């Protein structure tokens, strides 16, 4: 609660308000919202996480992709109330204070972005893929990203960026990961 | 010792992009990310009809909604002389409709409210009473004698014609056709398309009554032109206007014009004295803002039996929508359409062009090209393929016979442009070798015997990029130069500003590389800033691949001015005369004593601490560059496709691109531009177009109808490089951002037509949708893309 919160004088009793609480990038956030508020707008305007972009408003372009309990969703067609009690990851949650996520590094290293507008959504779709499939083929990557439109790059370098990140993630994986078999008991 | 240029991020370094550091963290600053205190939100009510008289507008319902601060209508705009605005093509365009609506999606009213949801609700509460009028959806209908008059607002307008225009040598061309052994004819349509950057348009106008200053954050590729236009339209003194183009989520030409939403948000801010944000939704962007193309062609090629082309004739009819607001800087009505056939040695050519009004969105823009060059090169390469087929000559050999030879530069093109450099045949050979052309005929024959349809399509072209030279190119009289300002700080770090505006091309990275090349200051020590008219030098912005040819040249020239001053300082520090000072990358030294030298950084420090008598302190300068000519990159694109005869679906098996854009500043970025361009070429050939039904309803108003290729459909690309430096550019560079979009579509379409050659089908209009290809295959006839006209029942 802040010291002072301005309330619009025009608010009437007819506008319903719902309280929602969700974990966003690991931090618990709460807000009073109109039930029709879209998740993308809560993130952008309410929580000032403007890395989530809205491109088409119709669930096509994927610029607004965030992870919803680890699954990629297009936040322009998710009501904020649907995220109540759930776990949301946005682009701002990819890097730590000191380190970029390998997907972010890959996008820079392989020139996987130009104007940067689709990039946050693209990277989150890529993260969902790599979380499930650490060793994807080029076709796996192209299919996983087919809900995210890019107008600048022609995708070839985006695909390379994701494969770059997959390799880095595999290389970085802790060495004590249980081996298939044959390990010492 | 001279520095290693690649190590300092100079010319030729595939330097990683500095702008990526914010984009990959989600810390870009796009217009919708800007929040100002007390900001209101604007939404636009658009016309549902293509052509209708407005009988009345009732806005009382909107005012009744709590949180609504202002409702703007055409009548209110008219009271302030703002209902109409001038276009970049010397026509007028309605800001908010007063008398009629002339296309579906036209701006009718605006609501300004506390938040965008309220503003949208209030738009729906506005009641407009329309009297429908017959809509006009194609040029044939527009030019019919009894066609309804669309522009009845214009005093001397008696029909729907915008212009008639011609260029070339009619008599000479007539003679060439009379002497020809073979004449090839083909008609086609380059469909209306939309640049459709993922980020739509938007603005935040902030008028401060206390200072009389207007600040506008805006999605614009040309902030300085916008400042001039706003000054003219809104009658605000130019020094009291500050346009800030923040990060742009793509542009591709869509963000060049002035749109009604910008103007309305400015007036709304003046009236409410609060910042007003307008963020266009995707449908608004697709149905109302600058489209590209929409040109019909009748083409003829006159040839000798040995393959030599004697002359070409082109007649174009272009559909400009309801207002002639083409955003183009040339003096030519149909843009640079007459750059067609520039790469071929053809003695005679004649072009006639007619432009018409229709009930469609206005704002023709150069969608990822110099204006109309995409149409020109598509028409050229489709005509070339049809001509080769009609002659019975191999398509590659036919090109080889007619391409301009390396020793033939400077070369006067068929319509009078002057090209200056190129190795056309070498590019063709590299492409043919890469695709395996020699063995293809046999492969195609054998495949056909097994019921498989394979085709190869070639597209070779040189195009004029980098408008322009000030003799022929201006916008509203403003010459098409560009500018750069460089300030070297005392520690040898620097800030560079230009009049261009990046939208993803990576200027922040590449401009620093040009400075590094000229001065030896590491690129990492140079920050690049663009887009703020209060700080950047005046420039014409970024479109038509003009950044590197014009602003990039200005960057080199300003760096050389800095170096010239640093040389004087170096002479002073080295205690020799200036003539005895030599330059190598990053340092001056005494002639004959290379170990006696000073670095550019030492000169910078001295510029602020130890200047020789008679020399001004400081180390900063600016340069305005007016290019002597356009740049003429060359490209050879070759696609290999397979058409499925059962469905009409075609797949790209391989796509080879050979690009000669002169010296490459950052090869990584150049290749990124080529791949992006090829993808838009593939899009136009395969799926992407804006069409209309007989009532003038826009088909293609959202991404479910307006199809952009995804990672799944987009083919892989194989890139090859040839370097012929531009003889007049300071670092030998030519434009590249648009070559693939311009030259690419014909390669894909030619490939499909090659696969269908045995059926006798000569043309299918783009996009080559499965039903069109299947229709052509099953009927053996050409397929037109012209929007259908209503027939009376």
Express each pLDDT in A28-81 by its tens digit: 999 999 999 999 999 999 999 999 999 999 999 999 999 999 999 999 999 999
CB burial class (10 A; 0-12, 13-18, 19+) of residue B791? exposed
Residue B335 and residue B373 in contact, taking contact as beta carbons nearer than 8 Å: yes
In the stretch 682-711 of chain B, residues with CB closer than 8 A to chain A read: 702-704, 708, 710-711
Q: Is B104 annotated as catalytic?
A: no
Residue B362 and residue B101 in contact, taking contact as beta carbons nearer than 8 Å: no
Distances (CA, A) of A38 to A21, A147, B36, B69: 14, 19, 22, 23
Question: Which residues of B are less than 8 Å from A118 in CB distance?
Answer: 198, 249
Q: Which two tokens stand for residue B647?
A: 């469905």
| Rounded Cα gap, residues B104 and B49, in angstroms | 5
pLDDT in tens, B614-667: 999 999 999 999 999 999 999 999 999 999 999 999 999 999 999 999 999 999
Domains parsed from chain A with CATH numbers: 18-93 (3.10.20.30), 102-172 (1.10.150.120)
> CA of A178 to nearest chain B CA: how many angstroms apart?
33
Residue of B145, B146, B139, B147 whose CA lies nearest to B163 = B139
Contact with chain B for residue A149, Cβ under 8 A: yes
CB neighbours of B429 closer than 8 A, spacing ≥ 6?
A: none
Give the model's pLDDT for residue A185.
40
As separate numbers, helices (DSSP H) first and strands (DSSP E) second, chain B gives 19, 34
Residue showing tokens 């791949």 = B675
As a residue count, chain A comes to 185
Percent of chain B residues topping a pLDDT of 70? 100
Residue B317 and residue B139 in contact, taking contact as beta carbons nearer than 8 Å: yes
CB atoms within 10 A of CB B14: 14
The active-site residue out of B587, B738, B739, B762 is B738
Q: Classify B20-27+481-625 by CATH class.
A: alpha beta
Torsion (CA) B405, B407, B408, B410 in degrees, nearest 10? 130
Report residue A184's pLDDT band, with 50, 70 and 90 as the boundaries.
very low
* A123: nearest CA partner in chain B: B24
> CA of B502 to nearest chain A CA: how many angstroms apart?
8
Residue B631 gets which letter from DSSP?
Answer: B
Residue of B317, B374, B291, B305 whose CA lies nearest to B340 = B374
Torsional sign, CA B79, B84, B88, B91? negative
DSSP β-ladder status, B84-86 and B92-94 = antiparallel
Report residue A11's pLDDT band, with 50, 70 and 90 as the boundaries.
low
Q: Which two tokens stand for residue B751?
A: 């490939």
> Of all helices (H) and strands (E), which one includes residue B165?
strand B161-168
pLDDT in tens, B397-438: 999 999 999 999 999 999 999 999 999 999 999 999 999 999
SS (H, E, C) B463-481: CCECCCCCCCEEECCEECC
Q: Which two tokens stand for residue B26?
A: 């989600």
If DSSP codes are grouped into helix, strand and coil, which group holds residue B745?
Answer: helix
Task: Outline which parts of chain B fall under CATH 3.90.1170.50.
Answer: 34-133+200-248+255-284
Give the model's pLDDT for residue B475.
80
| Rounded Cα gap, residues B761 and B686, in angstroms | 18
CA B465 to chain centre: 10
Query: Across all residues in chain B, what is the average pLDDT?
Result: 96
Residue A76 gets which letter from DSSP?
Answer: G
| Rounded Cα gap, residues A84 and A23, in angstroms | 9
Residue A95 and residue B27 in contact, taking contact as beta carbons nearer than 8 Å: no
| pTM: predicted TM-score of the whole model, two decimal places | 0.96
Angle (CA) B166-B168-B169 rounded to 5° is 120
Residue showing tokens 């449908």 = B283
Task: Return left, alpha or beta for B168; rule: phi > 0 is left, psi -120 to 50 is alpha, else beta.
Answer: left
Give the model's pLDDT for residue B477.
81
Task: Outline which parts of chain B fall under CATH 3.30.365.10.
Answer: 20-27+481-625, 368-466+629-779
In the stretch 5-34 of chain A, residues with CB closer than 8 A to chain B read: 8, 10-12, 34
ipTM summary value: 0.96
A156-165: average pLDDT: 98
> Of all helices (H) and strands (E), which one includes residue A65?
strand A65-68
Residue of B502, B525, B518 whose CA lies nearest to B555 = B518
| Rounded Cα gap, residues B514 and B11, in angstroms | 6
Q: Is residue B763 over pLDDT 70?
A: yes
Angle (CA) B535-B82-B31 rounded to 5° is 40
> CA of B193 to nearest chain A CA: how many angstroms apart?
14
Question: Which residues of A are less than 8 Å from B710 in CB distance?
Answer: 145-149, 155
Task: Return left, alpha or beta for B273; rule: phi > 0 is left, psi -120 to 50 is alpha, else beta.
Answer: left
If DSSP codes are grouped into helix, strand and coil, which group holds residue B194?
Answer: coil
Give the model's pLDDT for residue B709.
98
Residue of B468, B626, B624 whose CA lies nearest to B537 = B624
Give the model's pLDDT for residue B643.
98
Question: In CATH terms, is domain B368-466+629-779 a member of 1.10.390.10?
Answer: no
In the stretch 498-557 of chain B, residues with CB closer than 8 A to chain A read: 503-506
Taking an 8 Å cut-off on Cβ atoms, the answer to whether B199 and A159 are in contact is no
Q: Is B412 annotated as catalytic?
A: no
Q: Is residue A179 over pLDDT 80?
A: no
Residue showing tokens 């695909």 = A159
Q: Which two tokens stand for residue A84?
A: 């109540």
| Rounded Cα gap, residues A144 and B606, in angstroms | 57
Q: Is B726 annotated as catalytic?
A: no
Taking an 8 Å cut-off on Cβ atoms, the answer to whether A115 and B504 are in contact is yes
pLDDT in tens, B309-323: 999 999 999 999 999
* B34-133+200-248+255-284: CATH architecture: Alpha-Beta Complex (3.90)
Q: Is residue B484 over pLDDT 80?
A: yes
Percent of chain B residues topping a pLDDT of 90? 93
Report residue A183's pLDDT band, with 50, 70 and 90 as the boundaries.
very low
Q: Is B343 annotated as catalytic?
A: no
> CA of B713 to nearest chain A CA: how many angstroms apart?
9
């Amino acid at each position: 609660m802040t010291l002072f919160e301005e309330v619009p004088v025009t608010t009437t009793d007819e506008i319903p308000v719902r309280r929602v609480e969700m974990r966003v990038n690991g931090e618990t956030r709460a807000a009073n919202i109109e039930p029709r508020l879209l998740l993308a707008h809560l993130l952008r305007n309410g929580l000032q996480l403007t890395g989530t972009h809205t491109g088409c408003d119709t669930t096509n372009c994927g610029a607004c992709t965030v992870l919803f309990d680890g699954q990629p969703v297009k936040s322009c067609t998710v009501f904020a109330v649907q995220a109540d009690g759930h776990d949301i990851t946005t682009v701002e949650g990819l890097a730590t204070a000191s380190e970029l996520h390998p997907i972010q590094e890959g996008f820079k290293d392989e020139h996987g972005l130009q104007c940067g507008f689709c990039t946050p959504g693209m990277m989150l779709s890529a993260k969902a893929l790599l979380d499930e499939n650490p060793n994807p083929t080029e076709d796996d990557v192209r299919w996983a990203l087919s809900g995210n439109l890019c107008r600048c790059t022609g995708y070839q370098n985006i695909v390379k960026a994701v494969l770059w990140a997959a390799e880095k993630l595999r290389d970085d994986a802790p060495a004590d990961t249980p081996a298939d078999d044959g390990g010492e008991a | 010792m001279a520095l290693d240029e690649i190590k300092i991020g100079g010319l030729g370094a595939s330097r990683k992009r500095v702008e990526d550091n914010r984009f990959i963290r989600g810390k870009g600053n796009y217009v919708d990310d800007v929040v100002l205190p007390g900001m209101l939100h604007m939404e636009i009510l658009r016309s549902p009809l293509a052509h209708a008289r407005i009988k009345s507008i009732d806005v009382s319902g909107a005012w009744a909604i709590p949180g609504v601060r202002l409702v703007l209508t055409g009548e209110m705009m008219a009271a302030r002389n703002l209902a109409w605005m001038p276009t970049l093509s010397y026509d007028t365009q309605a800001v908010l409709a007063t008398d009629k609506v002339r296309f579906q999606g036209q701006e009718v009213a605006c609501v300004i409210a506390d938040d965008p949801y309220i503003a949208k609700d209030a738009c729906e509460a506005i009641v407009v009473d329309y009297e429908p009028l017959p809509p006009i959806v194609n040029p044939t209908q527009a030019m019919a004698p009894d066609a309804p008059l669309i522009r009845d607002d214009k005093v001397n307008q008696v029909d729907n014609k915008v212009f008639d225009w011609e260029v070339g040598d009619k008599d000479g061309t007539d003679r060439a056709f009379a002497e020809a052994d073979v004449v090839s004819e083909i008609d086609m349509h380059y469909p209306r398309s939309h640049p459709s950057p993922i980020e739509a348009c938007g603005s935040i106008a902030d008028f401060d009554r206390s200072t009389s200053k207007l600040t506008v954050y805006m999605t614009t590729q040309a902030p300085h032109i916008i400042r001039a236009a706003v000054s003219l339209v809104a009658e605000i003194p130019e020094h009291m206007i500050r346009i800030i183009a923040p990060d742009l989520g793509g542009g591709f030409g869509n963000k060049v014009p002035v749109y009604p939403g910008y103007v309305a948000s400015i007036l709304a801010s003046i009236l409410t004295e609060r910042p007003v944000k307008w963020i266009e939704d995707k449908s608004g962007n697709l149905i109302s803002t600058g489209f590209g193309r929409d040109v019909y062609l009748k083409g003829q090629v006159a040839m000798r039996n040995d393959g030599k082309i004697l002359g070409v004739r082109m007649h174009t009819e272009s559909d400009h929508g309801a207002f002639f607001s083409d955003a183009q800087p040339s003096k030519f009505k149909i843009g640079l359409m007459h750059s067609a056939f520039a790469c071929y040695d053809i003695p005679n050519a004649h072009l006639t062009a007619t432009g018409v009004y229709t009930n469609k969105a206005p704002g023709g823009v150069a969608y990822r090209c110099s204006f109309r060059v995409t149409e020109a090169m598509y028409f050229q390469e489709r005509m070339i393929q049809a001509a080769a087929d009609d002659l019975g000559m191999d398509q590659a050999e036919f090109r080889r016979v007619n391409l301009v030879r390396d020793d033939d530069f400077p070369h006067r093109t068929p319509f009078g442009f002057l090209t200056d450099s190129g190795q056309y045949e070498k590019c063709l050979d590299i492409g043919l070798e890469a695709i395996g052309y020699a063995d293809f005929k046999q492969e195609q024959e054998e495949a056909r015997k097994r019921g498989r349809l394979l085709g190869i399509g070639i597209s070779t072209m040189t195009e004029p990029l980098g408008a322009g030279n000030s003799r022929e190119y201006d916008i509203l009289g403003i010459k098409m130069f560009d500018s750069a300002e460089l300030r070297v700080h005392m520690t040898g770090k620097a800030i560079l500003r230009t009049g261009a505006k990046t939208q993803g091309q990576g200027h922040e990275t590449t401009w620093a590389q040009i400075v590094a090349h000229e001065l030896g200051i590491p690129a990492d020590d140079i920050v690049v800033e663009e887009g703020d008219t209060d700080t950047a030098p005046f420039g014409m912005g970024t479109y038509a691949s003009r950044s590197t040819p014009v602003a990039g040249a200005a960057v080199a020239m300003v760096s050389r001015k800095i170096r010239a001053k640093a040389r004087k300082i170096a002479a002073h520090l080295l205690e020799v005369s200036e003539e005895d000072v030599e330059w190598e990358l990053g340092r001056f030294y005494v002639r004959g004593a290379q170990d006696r030298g000073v670095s550019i950084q030492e000169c910078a420090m001295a510029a602020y601490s130890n200047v020789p008598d008679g020399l001004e302190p400081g180390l900063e300068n600016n340069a305005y560059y007016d290019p002597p000519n356009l740049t003429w990159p060359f490209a050879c694109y070759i696609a290999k496709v397979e058409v499925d005869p059962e469905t009409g679906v075609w797949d790209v098996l391989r796509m080879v691109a050979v690009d000669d854009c002169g010296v490459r500043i950052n090869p990584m970025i150049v290749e990124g531009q080529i791949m992006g361009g090829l993808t838009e070429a593939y899009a136009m050939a395969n799926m992407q177009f804006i069409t209309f039904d007989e009532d003038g309803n826009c088909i293609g108003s959202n991404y479910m109808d307006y199809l952009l290729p995804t990672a799944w459909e987009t083919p892989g690309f194989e890139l090859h490089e040839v370097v012929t430096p531009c003889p007049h550019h300071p670092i030998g560079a030519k434009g590249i951002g648009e070559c693939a979009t311009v030259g690419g579509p014909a390669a894909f379409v030619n490939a499909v037509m090659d696969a269908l050659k045995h059926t006798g089908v000569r043309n299918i209009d783009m996009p080559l949708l499965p039903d069109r290809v299947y229709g052509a295959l099953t009927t053996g006839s050409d397929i037109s893309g012209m929007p259908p006209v209503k027939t009376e029942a």
